[in-house]
Amino acid sequence: MEMRKINQILFSVCLVLILSGCNNTGNFIVKNGLSEYQIVIADNATEYEKLAASELQNYLKQVSSTELKIIEDSEAKSDFEILIGKSNRLSETILSDIDQLDEDGFIIKTEGNKLIIAGGKEKGSLYRVYTFLEDFLDCRMYSPEVINIPKNKTILLPEIDLKQEPAFAYRELHMPLSRKSESYRNWHKLDAKEGKNEWGMFVHTFDDFIPVEEYFESNPEYFSFLNVQRIPDGQLCLSNAEVFDIVVEDLNERMQKNPQVLYWSVSQNDTYKACECDECKEQYDLYDGYSGAMVHFVNRVADQFPDKVISS
C-alpha cells in the first residue's frame, strides 16, 4: 500500500511539472485576470484597423473580463504589445510582407512578447482579428445574435507564424444573415455589392446587353431556340457570332462611361430555357453541357477586357 501511495504521489508531481512546462511555451496575454499587454495602432491607422483594435479589445474582455488599453504608436513602447496594422513598431521585413499582401490578405505572427496582427489595405487586419478569435480563443459567430464566447481568466498565446490570402477577390453569400448584418459579413470575410463602386453590372445581364423589346422582332436568331421556334423569354443563343459581338460592344461602351469600375457581370437571364439550336447543342457536347458553353462564352468576353474582372 505504501509503495502504491508513493507511486501516485510521484505521478502527480510529474504531471504538475509537465503542465507547468507547457504553460511556459508561450506568452500570457491574460493570466488570472491580469494583463501587461496593450493594443497598438498607428497614429494614421485606417478605419478598418481602428475597428479591428476595438473588436479585439471587446472580445478579449468578454473572454477574460480583462480590458486591454488601446494606444497609438506615438505613445511609449511596452515589452508586451499586440500590434494591429502598420505601425512604427514593425520591422522592415514585416512591413514588406504586409505591402505584398492582397487587399484582404493578412498575417498573424509572434515575435518575442509581441503579437502582430496586420493585413492588406482593405479589411485584412479586421479579418485577421476574427480569425485569431476563432483559431486561438475558440469564439464562434453562428448569427449576429448567437455568438459563442468561451470564458477563461487566462489566455496563453502560442508561437504563431501564419499568412492567409483569399482565393477569390470577391465573396458574397446570398442569405439574409449576410445581407442584413455587416458584423456577420465581416466575421466570415464576406462582401456585399451594396455601396461598392467596383461593380458595373451585377448578375442576370443578358437582357441588358440584348433587350428582347429591341432585338427579338428584327433578330429572333439572337435568342433561344426551343420547341421548333425562337422564344423571347429564355437565354441568348451562345453560338451566334453576332450575339458575342453585340455583348462585347455594349460592355465596352459601359466601361468607357465608368472606367473606374472593376467588376462586370456577363450572366444568363434569371430563367431556364437554354438555346437548343444545332450549333448550341454542338457546344454543349464539346463543353459538357450548357454551363460549360456559358463559361466558354464568358471567358471569350473576358479575353477582350484583360484589365477588368468579368463574372458569370
Q: Is 114 strand, coil or helix?
A: strand
- pLDDT digits over 131-162, tens only? 999 999 999 999 989 999 999 999 998 999 99
Residue pair 82/66 in contact (Cβ under 8 Å)? The answer is no
User: 27-168 — its CATH code?
Assistant: 3.30.379.10
Q: What are the DSSP calls for 24-92, one per residue? A: TSSEEEEBTTB---EEEE-TT--HHHHHHHHHHHHHHHHHHS-PPEEEETTSPP-SSEEEESS-TTS-H
Furthest C-alpha separation in the chain? 103
Q: Which residues pair with 40 in a beta bridge?
A: 71, 83
Helices (H), ranges, the chain: 2-23, 47-64, 92-99, 124-137, 176-180, 182-187, 206-209, 212-215, 241-257, 278-286, 290-303
Residue 104 contacts residue 189 (beta carbons within 8 Å)? yes
* Pairwise CA distance, residues 237 & 218, whole Å: 15
pLDDT tens, residue by residue, 201-214: 888 999 999 999 99
Q: Output 251 or 10, whichever has higher pLDDT.
A: 251
Mean pLDDT of 276-284: 97
Burial class of 255 by CB neighbour count within 10 A (0 to 12, 13 to 18, 19+): middle
Q: What are phi and psi of 25, to 5 degrees?
A: -90, 0
What is the rounded distance in angstroms from the CA atom of residue 233 to the CA atom of residue 226? Answer: 11
Percentage, residues of the chain above pLDDT 90:
69
Query: What pTM was computed for the model?
Result: 0.72
pLDDT score of 197:
63
**Residue-range domain boundaries for the chain:** 27-168, 206-311
